[in-house]
Structure 1
């Protein structure tokens, strides 16, 4: 039973250290919802809940570059297609 407590203590210590290092490496304007010092106290004093709260509410949201979506234009909205269709109708092309 003592080994379970030691394991939980080590997991808590690792979580707190990771949260502290993560919080220390950020600038004040990158942190969400609270100032830097408040997060430091929360991580240290409210272990492990402060560290969990840091990862949920304090860390900045990663900026994922948005890929441009391919633009699909329906044939009846495509001016080039409509021009070619009108030309084909005028010429009497039966394939169009």
Structure 2
């Protein structure tokens, strides 16, 4: 039983430290729902609920939405690659 308690305590300390570092590194103008100092007190005093709340409701939203990131296109699905391939083949063998 003591080992389970020690593991839970270690997980709690790790979660609080990660939340604190993340909160300290966040831009204050981008933090949601409360000011920076309120989040610091919540993370430190209401452990682990404050740290979990930070990640759910306080952490800044990424500037680039996940859907707007460039998507890898395989060469056989890329029209530009296929055009360049056709041009290279025509250049090699104009009688084709």
TM-score by length of 2: 0.67
Going from structure 1 to structure 2, the CA distance change for 1:2 and 1:31 (only over 3 Å counts) comes to: same
Residue 26 of structure 2 is matched in structure 1 by 26
Residue 8 of structure 1 is matched in structure 2 by 8
Task: Tell me the distance in 1 between the aligned counterparts of 2:29 and 2:35.
Answer: 9
Task: Tell me the distance in 2 between the aligned counterparts of 1:67 and 1:2.
Answer: 46
Q: CA RMSD in A?
A: 1.5
Task: Tell me the distance in 1 between the aligned counterparts of 2:10 and 2:19.
Answer: 14
Task: Could you tell me which runs of 5 or more consecutive residues in structure 1 were left unpaired when the two chains were aligned.
Answer: 69-96
Residue 55 of structure 1 is matched in structure 2 by 55
TM-score by length of 1: 0.67
Going from structure 1 to structure 2, the CA distance change for 1:3 and 1:40 (only over 3 Å counts) comes to: same
Which deviations, in whole Å up to 9, do the C-alpha atoms of 1:7-64 show, x marking residues without a partner?
0000000000000000001121010000000000000000000000000000011123
Give the count of matched residue pairs.
68
**Structure 1 residue 67: deviation in Å?**
5.8
Which has the higher Rg, Structure 1 or Structure 2?
1
